[in-house]
Amino acid sequence: MLEDLLQVHIRGFRSPRFDLPPHGNLARYREQLAEAGYDYVSDTGRLDGGSPIREAPVMSWRGLRLGGGSYQRLVPFAAVASAIKASEATAVCYYHSYDFDGTTPGLSAVRSALLAREVVGRGRIAPIFMRIARRFGSETCFDAAI
């Protein structure tokens, strides 16, 4: 649907919530993504060279997916920078458009703990992203995928 709307090839797929197939067959899952026309995938799995598509796993550190903006806004920048430096592979980070455009409601609109979790610290993400890009550089997931 996105390809039809945008008239461009959608090259990558990020598994929602980093979910992998419940049946545990990562190789078959990668084959299905390749058959669907994707060039790369970003989740938490890795086939170490046996994948028919490029893999760009989201950076994790001590069990936390610090590659995600939602995590980055809640931990000190020093922890994020340390995780990037310690990463053996390319440190893949991801962000949502609402992290930058202010469309998420402010704290005054929060009516639930779930929504509060989504908006607390949201204003920190753009400055964190800029610090990461200046300090470590930036490239697309397609270019970074191994």
Note the Cα 65 to chain centre separation in Å. 9
The pLDDT tens digits of the residues spanning 80-111 come to 999 999 988 889 998 887 778 767 666 666 67
Dihedral (Cα; 40, 46, 49, 52), 10-degree rounding: -40
Cα gap 18→98, rounded to integer Å: 19
3-class secondary structure per residue, the chain:
CHHHHHCCCCCEEECHHHCCCCCCCHHHHHHHHHHCCCCEEECCCCCCCCCCCEECCECCECCECCCEHHHHCCCCHHHHHHHHHHCCCCCECECCCHHHHCCCCCHHHCCCHHHHHHHCCHHHHHHHHHHHHHHHCCCCHHHHCC
The pLDDT tens digits of the residues spanning 29-73 come to 999 999 999 999 988 888 877 899 988 888 988 888 899 888 888
Cα gap 98→104, rounded to integer Å: 6
pLDDT at 80: 93
pLDDT at 32: 92
Q: Quick check: 69 and 125 in contact, CB under 8 A? A: yes
